[in-house]
A and B are shown apart, each in its own frame.
Chain A
């Protein structure tokens, strides 16, 4: 089958690949481009580990066909730190001991980033709602919720 061209911006860099039609964005990111920060958990849109941000919206890369992303701007967790300085969400996850095995972490951080981009001062209920599409096996969620609330507070202090 003929390959199809796909071109998008990933974490600020132009990417162009020839892929098989039907390739998921998750597969294209991990196996073609080499960005392994989105994880393949369930491959059916249930666990949230593959979450990425496409044109400002939280999307499941395992259910998104790469060829539908032509011209899109995509952000993954590996694109969050700048010049070796962690993003406030990454720093908050670290400080709050919000990771154990780490498999859900990139998806959690993507979901949290979209929340904070739209709602800089979220309530606890806002955070719970935003993370409700992401499964974590290890932490019991509470440290993750606390990390997102802490990151929101440190963001608002920066802005002030």
Chain B
């Protein structure tokens, strides 16, 4: 009986969003009378940072500072349609819709500015600080504040735009079954090192090293935050969490927080995160979906590490001490 060490590797290929009956998200953008911009969405911020990212995307597209944008994700009864915040789709789907809406709003904004400055709209550019300038003659300019006032009170225009991003439904080919379930994939690879006590079946994860390829990281700190949390959650799913430990039987399933096993701050593996940025062709400013993807590769990596350590394949989650001990018994030829 001994503590045995093992190392496992796993790589994943993860779709951004899903494609059951078409996957739409819509967005509306409009300016207030003082040239702030409002993004209206039904895409909910669960804490993953949807509001911050959508504000950045809208600001970048219109050409204003991020703090000039307010994002309202208040109400699915009244907001533009969104399929939801799941399947790592939020940034990709809602971001594309916001870009489209913001482009339309920007065009109206430039048209109003052109009338005020008596130039062609195509000769105008934004400085990213809240001003619109004539290309090549930046001394001729107007603030977006004044443009908005003009649109509202003088020219009777709405500086606004509509965004609609739809991944259409893909039907499988009858002959081959081939289809296009997603247009955009994120990737990850994890190496996990574990110790397995072959007497108790207990697994301790020593280190987890993750590389995530997530398109462009629109907000690197928030990406890191999500990846670190996701990596931990992957280990939690690999080793601890389930509501049905003897699925499909409900026996011994946790019914409250006392009985639902999750690792605490004392159970952390040494975690490393590396981000690779390969902008996606159809992502907003090259972004893919890092959210759900980042909690996946740890699970097969840990399973492989357990196999490397004690030579048993556990193919049911979570990888509990009981499952490991039963597998070790079976391996030794003893009745289960």
Contacts and interface: CB of A to CB of B under 8 A. Distances in A.
B202 interface: no
Contact of B268 (A46, A135, A142): A142
Interface string A66-91: 00000000000000000000000000
A140 B233 contact: yes
Interface in B225-259: 225-226, 228-233, 256-258
Contacts of B229: 100, 138-140
B232 A102 contact: no
Contact of B228 (A42, A44, A142): A142
B275 interface: no
B257 A140 contact: no
Q: Is chain B's interface secondary structure helix, strand, loop, or mixed overall?
A: helix
Contacts of A138: 47, 229
Contacts of A143: 225, 228
B266 A140 contact: no
Interface stretch (A3-11, A21-29, A30-38, A125-133): A125-133
A141 B233 CA distance: 11
Contact of A101 (B46, B230, B233, B258): B46
Contacts of A131: 264-265
B262 interface: yes
Q: Is chain A's interface secondary structure helix, strand, loop, or mixed overall?
A: loop
A142 B271 contact: yes
A96 B176 CA distance: 50
Q: How large is the interface on B (under 10, 10 to 19, 20 to 34, 35 or more residues)?
A: 20 to 34
Interface residues of A, number: 27
A122 interface: no
**Which of B229, B262, B271 has the most chain A CB atoms inside 10 A of its CB?**
B229
Contacts of B48: 100
A151 interface: no
B194 to A, nearest CB: 17
A127 B46 CA distance: 27
A129 B257 contact: no
When A and B form their complex, which 8 residue pairs have the shortest distance between CB atoms, in order from nearest? A140-B232, A101-B47, A42-B257, A100-B47, A46-B257, A141-B265, A97-B225, A140-B229
Given A42-B256, A101-B47, A141-B232, 12 more contacts: A42-B258, A97-B221, A97-B224, A128-B265, A129-B266, A132-B266, A139-B232, A140-B228, A141-B264, A141-B265, A143-B225, A143-B228
23 contacts: A44-B256, A44-B257, A46-B256, A46-B258, A97-B221, A100-B49, A101-B47, A128-B265, A129-B266, A131-B265, A132-B265, A132-B266, A135-B257, A136-B265, A139-B225, A139-B229, A140-B228, A141-B264, A141-B265, A142-B271, A143-B228, A144-B265, A145-B265
